[in-house]
């Protein structure tokens, strides 16, 4: 048994809930502190690639995730009218008999991870945050917004890209910056033809992507490159989205344009990025997930990286007797891998921002990224 008997996890997102479950499995008593309400979970969907599914499988979570979403293999490039230009199967890197990737609604994924974390024995405090952290040679004490004080051996900051813990412990200078791009996402009914990752391309270079989330649903995404973060007034969002879809004549996209309405899930997210240099720990506080590496989503891998972080941190805490040794090994195994994926995703983002976007160059980078992700963690 390693140096950690009890841990706090600040943030109950993908990384926080996965690490809570992973730690309980190795006998570490875990308390998750999440500022949001249990019922707050929103968001469209997320894609988990083979490397994320492989890590979820190691943690006993993959079957429940696959049941909650839609596994897929096909990557298809089509013109605006829906005619297939190229189609290929993604390699099944984690299990030859299971899908290469998974699409799932974020609230559903959050529920699966929460159920497993609590079943494994983790305690989750919703509507709660940390107001003060004091650490010494023997432990870390947290003061919570509900007035409680508690003590543990380790605090894991899984509080996302804008991590307050990172700011407090590592300094104000480590904050995300805008990458010059953002994405519109819109959840729609899925037709049979939206059977995997589908990219619809116009000769002008305009693109719409679609990713499956369940038997019935998928989401559409549009990337927007702007020097400043885009601001569209709420009452103009539907028209804005309809205009984006208008040039696409594939029947499923025409249907999607007709369904645009305030009751549908539509969101715009600018990409704020950060790659923390090593070390990711300071004393008894360690960073995990977006708090350590916030990527542009071109590699659809931020969530997968958080899941891998959770697996590796639990492995290192399990196999090392000393806390410092475990955290150094965790960072050594994770920092280089996350940085490579961050660099590739950001390079594609920068390429897409150019007026003359080199598609072959981007595709080459994407293939390089996928090959890299396939390598064992």
Ligand X SMILES: Cc1cc2nc3c(=O)[nH]c(=O)nc-3n(C[C@H](O)[C@H](O)[C@H](O)COP(=O)(O)OP(=O)(O)OC[C@H]3O[C@@H](n4cnc5c(N)ncnc54)[C@H](O)[C@@H]3O)c2cc1C
From candidates 4, 7, 9, 10, binder to ligand X by CB under 6 A? 10
Least spacing, CB of residue 268 vs ligand X, in Å: 9
Nearer to ligand X, 94 or 320 (CB): 94
Nearer to ligand X, 3 or 164 (CB): 164
Nearer to ligand X, 210 or 300 (CB): 300
**Contact call for residues 298 and 366 (beta carbons, < 8 A):** yes
Pairing of strands 197-201, 74-79: parallel
Nearer to ligand X, 35 or 199 (CB): 35
Greatest CA separation found in the chain?
Answer: 64
From candidates 34, 125, 153, 335, binder to ligand X by CB under 6 A? 34
Nearer to ligand X, 36 or 279 (CB): 36
Q: Name, in order, each residue with C-beta under 8 angstroms of 209's C-beta and a sequence gap of 6 or more.
A: 197, 198, 199, 200, 220, 221, 222
Least spacing, CB of residue 72 vs ligand X, in Å: 12
Q: Is residue 175 involved in binding ligand X (CB under 6 A)?
A: no
Q: Name, in order, each residue with C-beta under 8 angstroms of 41's C-beta and a sequence gap of 6 or more.
A: 106, 107, 110, 111
**Contact call for residues 52 and 96 (beta carbons, < 8 A):** no
Report how many residues bind ligand X under the rule CB under 6 A: 31
Q: Is residue 15 involved in binding ligand X (CB under 6 A)?
A: yes
Q: Is residue 345 involved in binding ligand X (CB under 6 A)?
A: no
Q: Is residue 210 involved in binding ligand X (CB under 6 A)?
A: no
Q: Is residue 187 involved in binding ligand X (CB under 6 A)?
A: no
Gap between the Cα atoms of 11 and 125, Å rounded: 10
Q: Is residue 82 involved in binding ligand X (CB under 6 A)?
A: no
Q: Is residue 47 involved in binding ligand X (CB under 6 A)?
A: yes
Least spacing, CB of residue 36 vs ligand X, in Å: 4
From candidates 3, 26, 29, 35, binder to ligand X by CB under 6 A? 35
Nearer to ligand X, 51 or 315 (CB): 51
Q: Is residue 312 involved in binding ligand X (CB under 6 A)?
A: no
Q: Is residue 11 involved in binding ligand X (CB under 6 A)?
A: yes
Gap between the Cα atoms of 309 and 306, Å rounded: 5
Q: Is residue 14 involved in binding ligand X (CB under 6 A)?
A: yes
Gap between the Cα atoms of 187 and 221, Å rounded: 9
Q: Is residue 183 involved in binding ligand X (CB under 6 A)?
A: yes
**Contact call for residues 208 and 248 (beta carbons, < 8 A):** yes
Nearer to ligand X, 303 or 320 (CB): 303
Where in 133-162 is the site for ligand X (CB under 6 A)? 158-160
From candidates 297, 313, 315, 342, binder to ligand X by CB under 6 A? 297
Least spacing, CB of residue 306 vs ligand X, in Å: 4
Q: Which residues of 79-105 are buried (b: 16+ CB within 10 A; e: fewer)?
A: ebebeeeeeeebebbbeeebbbbbbbb
**Contact call for residues 304 and 369 (beta carbons, < 8 A):** no
Copy the structure tokens of residue 195. 């059977």
Copy the structure tokens of residue 285. 């506080």
Q: What residue has token string 């952290």?
A: 133
From candidates 92, 164, 350, 359, binder to ligand X by CB under 6 A? 164
Copy the structure tokens of residue 312. 């590796």
Q: Is residue 257 involved in binding ligand X (CB under 6 A)?
A: no
User: Minimal CA–CA distance to 376: which of 91, 55, 60?
Assistant: 55
Q: Is residue 315 involved in binding ligand X (CB under 6 A)?
A: no
**Main-chain dihedrals φ then ψ at residue 248, nearest 5 degrees:** -95, 125
Local structure of 214: helix, strand or coil: coil
Q: Give the binding range for ligand X (CB under 6 A) out of 81-89, 168-176, 298-306, 350-358.
A: 298-306
Q: Is residue 80 involved in binding ligand X (CB under 6 A)?
A: no
Q: Is residue 124 involved in binding ligand X (CB under 6 A)?
A: no
| Segment holding 293, helix H or strand E | strand 293-294
From candidates 302, 314, 320, 344, binder to ligand X by CB under 6 A? 302
**Contact call for residues 48 and 102 (beta carbons, < 8 A):** yes
* In 91-233, alpha helices (H): 106-119, 164-170
Which residues of the shown chain bind ligand X in the complex (CB under 6 A)?
Answer: 10-16, 33-36, 46-48, 129-130, 158-160, 164, 183, 269, 289-290, 297, 300-304, 306
């Amino acid at each position: 048994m390693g140096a950690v008997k009890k841990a706090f996890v600040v943030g109950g997102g993908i990384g926080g809930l996965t690490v809570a479950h992973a730690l309980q499995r190795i006998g570490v008593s875990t308390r998750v502190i999440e500022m949001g309400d249990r019922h707050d979970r929103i968001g469209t969907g997320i894609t988990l690639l083979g490397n994320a599914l492989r890590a979820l499988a190691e943690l006993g979570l993959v079957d429940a995730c696959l049941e909650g979403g839609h596994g897929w293999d096909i990557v298809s490039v089509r013109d605006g009218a829906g005619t297939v230009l190229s189609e290929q199967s993604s390699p099944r890197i984690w299990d030859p008999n299971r899908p290469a990737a998974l699409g799932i609604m974020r609230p559903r994924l959050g529920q699966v991870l929460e159920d497993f974390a609590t079943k494994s024995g983790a305690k989750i405090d919703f509507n709660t945050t940390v107001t003060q952290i004091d650490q010494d040679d023997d432990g870390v004490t947290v003061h919570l917004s509900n007035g409680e004080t508690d003590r543990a051996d380790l605090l894991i900051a899984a509080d996302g890209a804008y991590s307050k813990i990172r700011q407090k412990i590592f300094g104000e200078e480590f904050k995300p910056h805008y990458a010059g791009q953002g994405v519109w996402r819109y959840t729609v009914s899925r037709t049979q033809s939206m059977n995997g990752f589908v990219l619809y391309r116009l000769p002008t270079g305009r693109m719409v992507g679609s990713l499956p989330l369940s038997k019935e649903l998928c989401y559409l995404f549009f990337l927007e490159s702007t020097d400043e973060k885009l601001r569209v007034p709420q009452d103009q969002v539907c028209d804005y989205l309809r205009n984006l879809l208008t040039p696409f004549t594939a029947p499923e996209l025409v249907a999607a344009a007709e369904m645009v309405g305030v009751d549908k899930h539509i969101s715009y997210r600018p990409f704020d990025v950060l790659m923390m240099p090593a070390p990711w720990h300071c004393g008894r506080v360690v960073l995990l997930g977006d708090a350590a590496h916030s990527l542009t989503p071109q590699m659809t891998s931020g969530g997968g990286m958080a899941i891998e972080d959770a697996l590796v941190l639990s492995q290192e805490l399990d196999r090392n007797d000393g806390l410092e040794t475990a955290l150094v090994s965790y960072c050594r195994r994770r920092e280089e891998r996350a940085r490579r994926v961050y660099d590739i995703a950001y390079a594609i983002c920068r390429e897409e921002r150019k007026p003359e976007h080199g598609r072959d160059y981007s595709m080459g980078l994407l293939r390089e990224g996928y090959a890299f992700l396939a390598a064992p963690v």
